[in-house]
Amino acid sequence: MKALPIIIVLSVAGLFSAQHANAQEEYISPPSQTLTVVPFSLAAESVVLIKGLLLGHADTLTFILDTGSSGISLDSTTASLLNLEPEESEINIRGIAGVRKAEFLYNKKLKLNELVVDSLNFHINDYEFLSYVYGTRIDGVIGYSLLSRYILKVDYDINEIEICSQGPIKYPRGGHLLRPFIRTLPVHSARIKDHRKVTSRFLVDIGAGLSLVLSEDFEQDSSVVRKKRKRFPVEAHGVGGKLNMEMTLVKDFRLGPYRFRKVPTMVFEDEFNVTSYPYLGGIIGNQILKRFNLIINYGRREIYMKPNSLFREPFEYSYSGMELYHIDGLIVIGSVVDGSPADTAGLTAGDVVIAIDNNAGQDFTQYKKALTSARKQVKLIIRRDDELLEIRLKLLSLL
């Protein structure tokens, strides 16, 4: 009878040992490993540009990294220059400015530094307008086809992207983990507070060079923006071409624990149902997302964000009503909105910009910044036909 407690104790100890053995034999995926590090640049301080090579071709190509792309694409002119012949398909490609039938280049390989990504099906698009808007040749857009295979660590402090294998990863301290819904595009909730406080779902889109974009349907149904807010007409650009928007601002925008005040906001008529309203309220663009170093981990449906050196960078509130393009080595006025400050000042599409505020350095990014920073007036020297003109442009402000 006295041996009974000992038997019981031994049985419990044996059970513990068996459980411990099972835990040791549990399969654990290999940890994520760095495969390559790719430098990037910010085009017009807006979108991420990376370089790559199509295997079999010597020319280095420039791609926009885009969480708002459900695949990977190549510019039609680039494809023609590389003597690549796309195949027609019945697949429709939808963008913020239009819908069209897609042509594809199948089973291609892209080299990013030392990493070769195979089995890529590039759809063909016309990115001429993006080249004009961002001041550099845009050869394509890289989206889900890359993001779904690897973990990407995007560091805006040093302008590098670390491409890593999928697997367990330890996130650094000091940030916040988003758990977006991802089918091919990441969608996450965020809160807007202006006239009202409203929470909705948004596309997390580092390929959009804006801060915040709301569909007109969402903005009107929610009454989130105060009716007395200033609104200015603007011309924007997306897949499919140009479209008209209204520029305004919202008092407060919150993503996770991070809060931004007085955020410039675009409102657009979603003619092509990109947001599938009421599923999405709009788009969070890279003017917000670049303020964080990001770890994009589609395999686990996670995006880790940590504030970086751009976190407190001021937003841009000035309004000119004109768009600058970079065409054939020249900086030109590409469009002018009727009744806007640029129109009132006498500027016209096609004017060649020689200098802005005595800066004749022909720095496209600096010129664009001069038209959006919070100043009341800028001075332009432009060439129209064979004549040089000095024009003073009075800017409006959203504030």
Pairing of strands 140-142, 60-65: parallel
Six-digit token pair at 390?
Answer: 């000095």
Residues 396, 355: Cα–Cα separation, whole Å: 20
Q: In the chain, pLDDT over 90 holds for what percent of residues?
A: 83
pLDDT score for 244: 85
The residues, ordered by sequence, that sit 6+ positions from 377 with a Cβ below 8 Å of its Cβ are 392, 393, 394, 395
Residues 52, 113: Cα–Cα separation, whole Å: 7
Distances (CA, A) of 20 to 9, 10, 24, 27, 28: 17, 15, 6, 14, 15
Domains and CATH numbers, the chain: 34-164 (2.40.70.10), 178-291 (2.40.70.10), 318-397 (2.30.42.10)
Kindly give the confidence (pLDDT) of every residue in the chain, 399 residues in length, as a single tens digit, with 9 standing for 90 and above. Answer: 444 443 333 333 333 344 444 555 667 789 999 999 999 999 999 999 999 999 999 999 999 999 999 999 999 999 999 999 999 887 777 665 566 678 999 999 999 999 999 999 999 999 999 999 999 999 999 999 999 999 999 999 999 999 999 999 999 999 999 999 999 999 999 999 999 999 999 999 999 999 999 999 999 999 999 999 999 999 876 655 678 899 999 999 999 999 999 999 999 999 888 899 999 999 999 999 999 999 999 999 999 999 999 999 999 999 999 999 999 999 999 989 999 999 999 999 999 999 999 999 999 999 999 998 867 899 999 999 999 999 999 999 999
Residues 64, 47: Cα–Cα separation, whole Å: 7
CB 188 within 8 A of CB 288: no
pLDDT digits (tens, 9 = 90+) for 5-40: 433 333 333 333 444 445 556 677 899 999 999 999
pLDDT digits (tens, 9 = 90+) for 118-173: 999 999 999 999 999 999 999 999 999 999 999 999 999 999 999 999 999 999 99
Distances (CA, A) of 307 to 145, 187, 209, 303: 27, 20, 18, 13
What is the 8-class DSSP label of residue 300? G
Total-model pTM: 0.90
347: part of which helix (H) or strand (E)?
none
